[in-house]
């Protein structure tokens, strides 16, 4: 799992960073139609990287290399923190 994840994550990170550079350049040039495509591709790369990272964490938990900490938390506070970035986007 770790080998496969590493082999996939490295090219995805390169694609993500390349799209970030392209995004910045397209924005500078004012090419808005291409900018949206660059942003969508960048988001897709980031989603794939996040999924691979989650798979690696799961693999570590299953293999005993990482343990989960159990503790109490405030569900309302947690939900507020999770939803905050979405509230900013809506505004």
| Residues of the chain above pLDDT 90, percent | 4
pLDDT higher than 80, residue 4? no
DSSP character for 67? -
Structural domain boundaries of the chain? 2-90
Do residues 4 and 51 touch, judged by C-beta distance below 8 A?
no
What is d(CA 12, CA 43) in angstroms, rounded to the nearest whole number?
11
Q: Model-level pTM?
A: 0.57
pLDDT higher than 70, residue 91? no
| Residues of the chain above pLDDT 70, percent | 91
pLDDT higher than 70, residue 67? yes
Query: Exposed, middle or buried by CB within 10 Å (0-12, 13-18, 19+), for 38?
Result: buried
């Amino acid at each position: 799992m770790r080998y496969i994840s590493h082999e996939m994550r490295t090219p995805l990170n390169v694609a993500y960073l390349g799209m970030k550079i392209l995004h910045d350049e397209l924005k500078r040039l004012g090419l808005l139609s291409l900018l949206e495509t660059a942003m969508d591709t960048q988001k897709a790369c980031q989603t794939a990287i996040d999924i691979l990272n989650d798979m690696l964490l799961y693999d570590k938990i299953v293999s005993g290399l990482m343990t989960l900490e159990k503790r109490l938390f405030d569900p309302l506070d947690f939900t507020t923190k999770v939803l905050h970035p979405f509230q900013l986007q809506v505004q």
